[in-house]
C-alpha cells in the first residue's frame, strides 16, 4: 500500500507501544481516516475500510 500517512501512523503506534498505555481513538490523516486500537499485546491501526495498515507488538524494543 502506498500511503503517505503510514510512516506517521507507525511512529504513533511505536510511541504508544513503548509507553505501555492503552489507547483507542480516531486519527484523521492526509489520505484517510483511521481507527487506533490498543490490545493487550499489540497496537493496531485500521483504515476506513477496516483493513489493518499498522500493527506493532507491545513487547518489542525499538532502536530508532
Tell me the pLDDT tens digit for each residue of 7-59: 999 999 999 999 989 999 999 999 899 999 999 999 999 999 999 999 999 87
Residue 17 counted as domain residue: yes
User: Given this model, what pLDDT does residue 59 score?
Assistant: 77
Q: 3 pLDDT band (50/70/90 cuts)? A: confident
Residue 51 counted as domain residue: yes
Q: What are phi and psi of 38, to 5 degrees?
A: -95, 125
Residue 12 counted as domain residue: yes
Q: How many domains are there within the chain?
A: 1
Residue 63 counted as domain residue: no
> In this structure, is the dihedral angle defined by the CA atoms of residues 5, 35, 44 and 64, taken in order, positive or negative?
positive
Does residue 61 have a pLDDT over 60?
A: no
Residue 1 counted as domain residue: no
Domain span at 28: 6-57
Cβ pair 26, 35 in contact under 8 A? yes
Amino acid at each position: 500500500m502506498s500511503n503517505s500517512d503510514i510512516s506517521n501512523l507507525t511512529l504513533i503506534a511505536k510511541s504508544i507501544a513503548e509507553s505501555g498505555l492503552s489507547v483507542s481513538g480516531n486519527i484523521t490523516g492526509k489520505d484517510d481516516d483511521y481507527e487506533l486500537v490498543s490490545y493487550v499485546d499489540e497496537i493496531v491501526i485500521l483504515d476506513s475500510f477496516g483493513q489493518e495498515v499498522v500493527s506493532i507488538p507491545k513487547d518489542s524494543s525499538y532502536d530508532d
